[in-house]
Amino acid sequence: YCLNVIYSKETTSTQTILENHFENVSQGILYVADIQRQGIGRSGNWVSNNGCLMFSFKFECSAKIALPVQMMLPLGIVGAIEKIAADKGIEIPSLKAKWPNDVYLNEKKLSGILVNSKSNGKLMQMTIGIGINISNKSPFINLNEVYPNIFSKGEVLKEFISEFSSLVNDTENPGWEKRLTDQYKAKWLHYMKVATLSRDNKPCTIIDINHEGTIIARDQTGTFHKIQARDDIIFS
Ligand code: BTN
């Protein structure tokens, strides 16, 4: 697997550039920048100053693993940061995946993921954009303020690619669905926690997730609810 990496000191948005200027490339390209003038988040802009690891890459996969891939992204970020920390003898128990696609540290947002996808027959073509607050002043939290001088942008990027690729490659081995959900549950911020169903304001306990990211929650009467969309639930 060959990955061409483009780097800019400053750009508009790695995401918009890959989407608009590399429409015909479906794989094998990653664009990383130190500063974005128009960084985009899922709602509004993404604070994109130097010290934030910001990159986008093209990724093509079979449509049947498109949803699982969305769980592998936060897990890849968590895994990368944990690996670098573990090599230095540090554990980070408060590093968690927040469903559907953020990473939290000490219950504050550390990283956000943006996925634009289009389907092409049995294939799904995605542009995946990731921002991870390494040492920048962020509205939320950065790694360096909690663990000074441990993490560099380059190393986190390299380990992310390696972690994410192993998760994707594992889908070729039988039993990957359970391995994925087990790993997700082990790192999931809201696993076994109480949240509120938006449709009727009912409190419920988050008890399970499947490999496509559908949550199962149980309300106080014992009824099970499926949660598929971000707007179905309020995590407080
Ligand atoms: C979110 O809202 O949580 C998603 C944030 C995604 C930010 C990244 S930074 C690299 C890439 N380029 C962008 O303009 N956005 C994504």
Name the residue with tokens 């093509």: 60
DSSP H helices, 8-61, are: 14-21
Q: For the whole model, what pTM was predicted? A: 0.97
Query: What's the pLDDT tens digit per position in 202-215?
Result: 999 999 999 999 99
Distance CA 194, CA 229 (A): 17
Q: What pLDDT is recorded for position 188?
A: 98
Q: What are phi and psi of 90, to 5 degrees?
A: -110, 140
In the structure encoding, which two tokens stand for residue 169, read together? Answer: 């490659």
Pocket of ligand 1 (CB under 6 A): 13-15, 36, 39-42, 46, 54-56, 102, 112-114, 129-131
Q: How far is the CA of 57 from the centre of ligand 1 (A)?
A: 12
ipTM surpassing 0.90, yes or no? yes
In the structure encoding, which two tokens stand for residue 6, read together? Answer: 């483009």
Residues of the chain with CATH 3.30.930.10: 4-176
Fold of 4-176: BirA Bifunctional Protein; domain 2 (3.30.930)
- Which of 6, 49, 111, 114 maximizes ligand 1 atoms within 8 Å of its Cβ, making it the mutation to test the pocket? 114
Name the average pLDDT for the chain. 96
The H or E element containing residue 225 is strand 224-227
Which ligand 1 atom is the nearest neighbour of the CA of 39?
Answer: 14
| pLDDT tier at 1, thresholds 50, 70, 90 | low
Query: What's the pLDDT tens digit per position in 37-80?
Result: 999 999 999 988 999 999 999 999 999 999 999 999 999 999 99
Domain 194-234 in CATH 1.10.287? The answer is: no
